[in-house]
A and B are shown apart, each in its own frame.
Chain A
């Protein structure tokens, strides 16, 4: 983007209070300096619908598991063994390869106190980072952006948290700043280049109405972020062959943005369909395979571009499923679940927390041992170098994600 153009686009954000030269300098450090190539990045993959954790990381020596799931349990001979007790669903072959290469951490028994079994509410809790008894209207990544704004003199732009979708999830909505959603850089760019939108984005409101100013600020930021991301994305195109699934396309976009040096710190993408009440195995197998294959190429892509050390992929679902299968060869909504953390520094020994205890259930459901916010706080503090207490409202005990 040309300097003059940039100034025009940000007329509303500067509010005239910043001195231009300083401001520009900040902008250059933030966006154009090659230093962004060493920035740590988090990619979040949300499995929507409640992925069945017990058939993802399978306790293949546990009699209770086979007793409670007579027709849907994964046969011990098919499991991709991680150790003497647990192994991965055979659809996760690519993940197993990464695990063997010291690139995967598996954290079992992740949840929160008083679990909610409604998709909506539990997803709300995961996305806002709240407890089960609070209702927050901002997401944890949105608040991460807010905290960045407060802590730095440089301008923090929406695209620093990017969701690959047409609409923005609550997770990326902050109090003062929201993340940016785009299906791909071209689509958003062309939308914002529409004459009227673009013309509007360069105007100032006539009056000092706070909300109107907010709308203009959002519009100007959208147009300038869309342009920035689009231009940057041209720098590096991936040469890897990604699966043609939605997730494959999204991860390809993310890889291209990362290797192009876009200053995005958090990426967010979802894969839906895990609500397997009926005939679970076919459906879960298909989705896990999609997931593993897309992530496999993604990791490979980053590795060839020397960026894998900087990128951590966290995969979660809003809840796990009940231990006992239902009558339709499926499972119903449950509680605690496993979280995968892939990429980043090489793990010298496998990171794998203990398997769920099927003898100690809460009304047929797994008990959580690790609060999901412990993982968030570790990512925020140790990886993104932010202050997790500002984002989560309190301190959480860190968990070991790598090393």
Chain B
């Protein structure tokens, strides 16, 4: 078995802390000490850039339209319906634009680490909303707190309009409590199953009564709906507010355990090493839940670079797409097929299956998704269309996803080829493989790939070899 080279370890860092790196980034990193590379990469994510691609749109005026619709004579109905349809269409388009913008940011430019963390939190605080403005706002909130204190992040997301809407807290009132938010905040956001009782959920729901949002997506506390009575939560009794509950969750060491485990499983290995997670948890507790400190700790540990951890993750569809962009310095001209590929492969940004987020690891792979993944590189660079069609969700409000476009990418193959100028024809396939693939490749497979590069021109040959390498099962892991 080939040893884990310095290069592969660096690429491992770039894949996990970001979405991979181009050959020149890797080359530059090779000549610097590892600590420096990590520090620089993290510093590169210092600034926070909000998304501003969604125009503010009134929420409550629409509700009035819907109310009118129920009261209006039929001749006016069509006008109102058309208006509602147009608004729904615009929102869908806005969320699509947001999706394009985010994939583009993951795939190029600075701040990859912050985007990767935001992506992690998007899966942790998984949420769906039709309100494009709320979606953008939540994404900006996640990004702003992505590397900060977990306490700030949790409090912000608990008061976030899209989340309150998604988990029905707008309907959580003293007279008819809705437990949805209270349950998920414990089960999925902080403590994990088995670390609270049904009674804790019931009582905490009372503490969150009156938490809601207004039409501009701002948090609103409505005292009239709030239950001010005494509650007993986690064995303590008092007139607790929602903030009190969030603080109790943060003070509970089970939260540190839960978050550390989840970070480890995503950034290091799905298979948990209890000793390493314990170290993460201690770091989390000692730093008062400082996410950046915990992550810096992970990346600087020798065990992070163990061969058992390299290539141990199956790339999610979004990581696959953004990763191709970053490693090749390529850009998607038309974004429609990018969204289509997300749908086909089972991960559309802003559209997690439920509040538990996307099932990951081997769950990404079945016969259809694997064939599509293996076909993708060829389709990309031949400006073709994906062969498979997306299933319809059945929701009348969702655009029928029949529209398929050909991929259109810009890619400077001459420039990409120039990074490999020092390698002989004979060593070329292996050099490309060491840049693109994070696990050892069977020598007979390497020979087959070598045969795929049959063009006489060097640049064209590099293109053929790259496409072939990105089509093998090994490319699906990082």
Contacts and interface: CB of A to CB of B under 8 A. Distances in A.
Question: Which one of B183, B313, B394, B472 has the greatest number of beta carbons of chain A within 10 Å?
Answer: B394
Given A124-B353, A196-B471, A216-B473, A168 B368 contact: yes
The main secondary structure of chain A at its interface with chain B is mixed
A64 interface: no
A203 interface: yes
A173 B313 contact: no
Nearest to B445: A203
Contact of A181 (B367, B471, B474): B367
Given A166-B388, A209-B477, A328-B69, A197 B371 contact: yes
Contact of A218 (B346, B366, B439, B440): B366
B260 interface: no
Question: Which one of A123, A200, A212 has the greatest number of beta carbons of chain B within 10 Å?
Answer: A212
Interface stretch (B221-229, B355-363, B405-413, B421-429): B355-363
Nearest to A192: B371
B77 A327 contact: yes
Contacts of B188: 135
Nearest to A222: B367
A121 interface: yes
B367 A215 contact: no
Given A211-B311, A222-B370, A328-B69, A119 B363 contact: no
B367 A50 contact: no
Interface string B270-312: 0000000000000000000000000000000000000000011
Interface residues of B, number: 59
B359 A206 contact: no
Contacts of A273: 392, 394
B317 to A, nearest CB: 12
A166 B368 contact: yes
B367 A225 contact: yes
B70 interface: yes
A338 interface: no
B70 A326 contact: yes
A207 interface: yes
A70 to B, nearest CB: 13
A43 to B, nearest CB: 18
Contact of A135 (B355, B391, B477): B355
Interface in A131-147: 133, 135, 137
Interface in A310-335: 318, 326-328
A246 to B, nearest CB: 10
A188 B368 CA distance: 9
Contacts of B69: 327-328
A133 B473 contact: no
Nearest to A165: B391
B321 interface: no
A321 to B, nearest CB: 12
Nearest to A214: B362
B5 interface: no
Contacts of A277: 396
B104 interface: no
Given A205-B474, A211-B313, A275 B396 contact: yes
Contacts of A326: 70
A71 B216 CA distance: 37
A56 interface: no
A326 B84 CA distance: 15
Question: Which one of A165, A211, A273, A327 has the greatest number of beta carbons of chain B within 10 Å?
Answer: A211
Contacts, number: 163
A205 B365 CA distance: 17
Interface in B125-143: 128
B371 A207 contact: no
Contacts of B70: 326-327
Nearest to A119: B395
Given A206-B439, A209-B439, A158 B367 contact: yes
B459 interface: no
B442 A204 contact: yes
A178 B367 contact: yes
Interface in A48-107: 48-50
A119 B394 contact: yes
B178 to A, nearest CB: 11
Given A192-B371, A207-B1, A169 B452 contact: no
A278 to B, nearest CB: 7
Contacts of B64: none
A233 to B, nearest CB: 16
A167 B439 contact: no
B339 interface: no
B89 to A, nearest CB: 14
A48 B393 CA distance: 7
Nearest to B388: A166
Contacts of B468: 196
Given A196-B471, A273-B394, A181 B439 contact: no
A333 to B, nearest CB: 10
Question: Which one of B311, B366, B393 has the greatest number of beta carbons of chain A within 10 Å?
Answer: B366
A199 interface: yes
A244 interface: no
A23 interface: no
B369 interface: yes
Interface in A152-201: 158, 165-170, 173, 178-181, 183, 188, 191-192, 196-197, 199-200
B394 A215 contact: no
B366 A120 contact: no
Nearest to A166: B388
B382 interface: no
Interface string B57-80: 000000000000110100001000
A130 B403 CA distance: 33
A49 B370 contact: no
A200 B473 contact: yes
A167 B393 contact: no
A383 interface: no
B445 A120 contact: no
A340 interface: no
A253 interface: no
Nearest to A172: B366
Contact of A270 (B314, B368, B391, B443): B391
A301 interface: no
Contact of B365 (A119, A123, A169, A214): A214
A222 B389 CA distance: 18
Interface in B379-405: 387-397
Nearest to B310: A209
A216 B473 CA distance: 7
B33 to A, nearest CB: 28
10 contacts: A48-B392, A48-B393, A50-B394, A168-B367, A200-B472, A207-B1, A211-B476, A226-B367, A327-B72, A328-B77
Given A121-B354, A203-B442, A212-B311, 6 more contacts: A137-B359, A207-B440, A211-B362, A219-B370, A222-B367, A278-B81
Task: Give the 10 A-B residue pairs with the shortest CB-CB distance, closest first.
Answer: A48-B394, A137-B359, A49-B394, A275-B396, A135-B356, A215-B473, A166-B388, A222-B367, A272-B392, A206-B442
Interface of A: 48-50, 119-121, 123-124, 133, 135, 137, 158, 165-170, 173, 178-181, 183, 188, 191-192, 196-197, 199-200, 203-207, 209-212, 214-216, 218-219, 221-222, 225-226, 270, 272-278, 318, 326-328
Interface of B: 1, 69-70, 72, 77, 81, 128, 183, 188, 311-314, 344, 346, 353-356, 359, 361-363, 365-371, 374-375, 387-397, 439-445, 448, 452, 468, 471-474, 476-477
